[in-house]
A and B are shown apart, each in its own frame.
Chain A
Amino acid sequence: MCRKLSVGIMVLLLSIFVVLGTTAAVAQAETVIGEDVLQAGRPYEGTTLRFISLNYLYSKAIQQLTPHFEKATGMKVEIELYGTEDNFIKQVSELSMGGYAYDIVQVPPFNQPQYMAAGWLSPLDDYLQDSRFTPSAFDADDFFKVGMEFGSREGIQYTLPIFSATILYYYRTDVFDKYGIAGPAETFEELLDISKKIQSDEIAAIVLRGKPSIEQNMWPFGLIARGYSSFFKDYPDDLHPNLTDPNFLKAANLWKELFQYGPPGINTFSHEEVILYAQKGLAAQWIDGHPLAGLFLDPERSSVVGKVAVAKTPRGPKGWFPAFSEHGIGIARGSLQKDAAWEFIKWASSKEVLLEASQISQYLAVTRRSVFADPRFREKYSYFGGTFLDISNETLQARSLYFPPIPEWPTVGHVIARALSEVTSGIKSAQDAFSGANSTVDRIMKSAGYYK
């Protein structure tokens, strides 16, 4: 009996692997998307390019479209996707050792200055300015200017923008109606008041990312920190840390107070919990990325469809500092086939490809004006009664200094993230936690040579 069972299981396993071992057929499209930006005559035929990227909307859409590129150029592209937790470890270990394993890199937003300063990327200016490599159809001026600025350092362009993300303020209209709240909060104090009012056993007033890391709690906290104060005394002239500033501490305390109206355990929440809480109707407000909007509107995943609205993120006493983060695509310094890699980068950030990617997936963080204005794009993403696109456009174009683009930011940001997490979990007071963080950041900035 037992023997039979185990033989059965084994046969089942084997058959699963063998029978399904035939590769899925790739749909062959008739028209080749993005062909207009490629060099004529297939000069790099037979080359194999390797692209390392975070596993997210953009790269998954590009993966689907790559057969077009392969068909047009005769090249082969191997796309390797890594998760949010391990992507950076993998990229750092590969790039910092100067190998030639990867030709094309997706650069995480907060690490762009770090990658550029560390010399892990190859400059793109020679390609951009040479009409032999870059036909006019590519139109680099079409990119949002702020995105291009993010990918350059000291006047040299290292990456092209592929994913412009910002943060929006989502709220549940049904809950707001129930408690008679007129509209979304415009300042953080109002946000706190609203949260106080709607907090109940059934639904958490607000859910935010709380796990200590630059991508997690620093992602929304940056809004408050900048709304009240700044991370550095006076960027870019005076880079002494400003974490003991009373206004900064006020921001930290406000953040802590917000967390009291969040679900239990919010201190270790990452984007995963925020999304699940929002989708399952367990939270009334959440402040998170605008590229996620589609997730709350997808009836296959979300049970709050039709009950969500968006607004601009609240402002602080110092003004409105919306978030901005830009994923870049660049050529690895160690790559042995940079010319061919440029073909791919160009193609993967071209108008046609970005538009098509936005159509075949939920990728809406497009980086080109023309795509943003395209009727097909506007029609598909006219979320929340059409307000969504206007709000996100305004937010994206605000060009606030949400975090200082210095190579040390990932380190500094992490120190702040950890201190912040100490504050929210009540281990230390804001004063104690940030005076410690202040001296750590001071040491980092000193050793980086910003001041003596």
Chain B
Amino acid sequence: MEYKSVAYIKKAVLIMITIGGLFAILIPLIWLFLISIKSPLEAFRPESFWVFTPTFRNYFDAISNPSIRRYFVNSFVVASLSLAISMIIGVPAAFAFSKLKSRFKNFLLVYIVLARMIPPMIFIIPYFILYQRLNLINTRIGLAVVYTNFNVALVVWSMWTFFNEVPQDLLEVARIDGASIYQIFYKIFLPLSAPGLTTTAIICFLMSWNEFLFALILTRGATKTIPVGIIDLISYEGVNWGLVSSGAILMLLPMLLFAHLSRKYIVKGLLGGALKG
């Protein structure tokens, strides 16, 4: 009896800590949301921090602004393209690194991390010159290709660890049954690692969805993505906070949707699935 109530209290305390922590962490976002539903007069006025008349005008303005809509579409296309390319080239490579013999495996695994490590600052000018020659500036595919560079490292690393978790025996058994390597990869390994694929995909999408510097340099008006679009709302007459805050909140929505749809897999976690030590 006593033991049970102790466990009960412990549970209650844990829940309280979690909720408290969650709240503390979300404060900046809650604040941003509050800004987004205030009128320009009330936003930032200390006395109207808590008491104000909520308005959804900012959201309406953001959604009915044709260029902001276009930036959203661009971001979506670029992020999806980059995700597709990184997955198509990254997942099979991870499989090969994990289950097939490869001489340069270790070197390549570290090399691709190096590729991710390079600060964007470094690459802007060379890429700009290169893309100018190739006529890739102001194309969505061009931007997606740059992001691929950063996403592949994550794809390969996380899928590599997930594939490592699948016993090698499975491969041997399937092989004895007469399956080709392609079949084994496609029919056995891919479905088995669905959780890993989902989380990796979300993180990759996120990175491309949020990237700023390359998007600024390698796009022009028609292909601008949404982070650049929002930063461009900063002008000398002050930041248009209504659009900035509502735009930023709208930017969160697709990611939330993904996170919600894959919440089961998020529990499984990124990369960690196989790290049993």
Contacts and interface: CB of A to CB of B under 8 A. Distances in A.
B253 A13 contact: yes
Given A9-B257, A17-B72, A78-B221, A84 B63 contact: no
Given A24-B66, A101-B138, A295 B237 contact: yes
Interface string B212-237: 00001100111010001001111111
B125 A57 contact: no
Contact of A93 (B128, B221, B231, B236): B128
A126 interface: no
Contacts, number: 109
A20 interface: yes
Interface string A1-29: 01001100110010011001101100000
A291 interface: yes
A93 B218 CA distance: 10
Contacts of B220: 50, 80, 101
Contacts of B64: 20, 24
Contacts of B46: 280, 282
B183 interface: no
A56 B217 contact: no
Nearest to B76: A17
A386 interface: no
B73 A17 contact: yes
Given A83-B232, A272-B239, A295-B238, A20 B217 contact: no
Contacts of A97: 128-129, 132
B233 A20 contact: no
Interface residues of A, number: 50
A199 interface: no
Given A6-B261, A23-B66, A86 B236 contact: no
Interface string A47-58: 000100011110
Nearest to B236: A56
Contacts of A239: none
A302 B43 CA distance: 10
Contact of B45 (A56, A303, A362): A303
A376 interface: no
A292 interface: yes
A362 B254 contact: no
Interface in B103-162: 124-125, 128-129, 132, 137-138
25 contacts: A2-B260, A9-B256, A9-B260, A13-B254, A16-B63, A17-B69, A17-B73, A20-B63, A20-B64, A50-B220, A54-B236, A55-B232, A55-B233, A56-B236, A78-B222, A82-B232, A83-B231, A84-B235, A85-B234, A89-B216, A93-B217, A101-B137, A276-B44, A300-B39, A301-B41
Interface of B: 39-41, 44-46, 63-64, 66, 69, 72-73, 124-125, 128-129, 132, 137-138, 216-217, 220-222, 224, 228, 231-239, 253-254, 256-257, 260-261
